Structure 1
Amino acid sequence: MSLFDDILDDVDSPSEFGPQEGFAGVLICASACDGHIGDEECQNLNLILGSRRLYQRLSPQQFGSMIDRLIGELKKKGPERLLEKAYPKVPPELREAVFANAVDIVLADGVVEQEEREFIDDLREKLEIDKKRAKTIVQVMVYKNDG
């Protein structure tokens, strides 16, 4: 870590995250947690975000700009830093939804890598979702992706 990192990190982040960036940021991290974003994960991410009421008031340009900013943050600082910035901005009433969608994304390519398993476990803890409830959500998402 360079001496400039802490100082320039503040300058590089022109605006704070809100619920929209938080929700999308968590899902982008889910897509990238195995080291790359696959085509299936990208398609699933677009479908999920495009169908959320949270984004209906954004113009296509605003939505694209938000995604570009989040991807830029991911590339510059990595998924761990993006997740640390994003997950606290997810409102409590959307935490189970973002968790379920993150599980759906890691299941999208049909293979759940060790990094993805660890990401989901970590996300569950960060979002403070009960372990039994999380297990039910994961099971439902596995059923959904089997067909």
Structure 2
Amino acid sequence: MGLFGNRLSGLRTQSQSVMSPAEAFAAITLVSVGVDGYFSDEEVSTLISSLTRMHMFRSYSADVLRRMFDKLLGTAQREGFGSLLQTAIASLPHELGETVFAVATDLVLADGEVTREEENLLNSLYTALGISEATAIKIIDVMMIKNRG
């Protein structure tokens, strides 16, 4: 059934925490990298590199991002990745939905393989973020082209 089970059916988390837009964005991308149950140093470096190129994260040093990820991983260990993801989705401003989906898709496709868990996550994510299927398909197509070479 995967790491998330049916937890994505309700977007509101049972936790009372609310994340900043940057934390929510980072949490969603972190889950997309770790949905297969493993975080390699290369994946984390790629994730940090992807985020630091974004306007929202320009003022964040690599050290600050790593501390943020440590905090998010601590939350995931206590509450589960499903709860972390739900909190992040509920906290993310709507206008960042397509952007975070594009970055998550890029990170999933970067290694040239898509696991069942990664595919399930992306399928659940576009719906939970309120992205149309047509837009999600366009984003996936572009990211597949980007990651060909």
TM range, normalised to the smaller chain?
A: 0.7 to 0.9
Decide which structure has greater helix share. 1
Q: 1:139 aligns with which of 128, 138, 141?
A: 141
Unaligned runs of 5+ in 1: 1-8
Task: Give % identity.
Answer: 35
The structural deviation recorded for 1:76 is 2.7
The structural deviation recorded for 1:143 is 0.6
Alignment RMSD:
2.0
TM-score by length of 2: 0.81
TM-score by length of 1: 0.82
Q: Deviations over 1:97-138 (max 9, x none)?
A: 100000011112211000100000000010010001100100
Q: 2:106 aligns with which of 80, 104, 107?
A: 104
User: What amino acid is the match of 2:130?
Assistant: E
The structural deviation recorded for 1:40 is 4.0
- Report how many residues are paired: 136
The structural deviation recorded for 1:61 is 5.1
Q: 1:89 aligns with which of 88, 91, 105?
A: 91
What residue is the counterpart of 1:3 in the other structure?
none
Q: 1:124 aligns with which of 108, 117, 126?
A: 126
2:48/2:62 contact within 8 Å kept: no
Q: Secondary structure at the match of 2:139?
A: helix
1:17/1:89 contact within 8 Å kept: yes
Unaligned runs of 5+ in 2: 1-13
The structural deviation recorded for 1:39 is 4.0
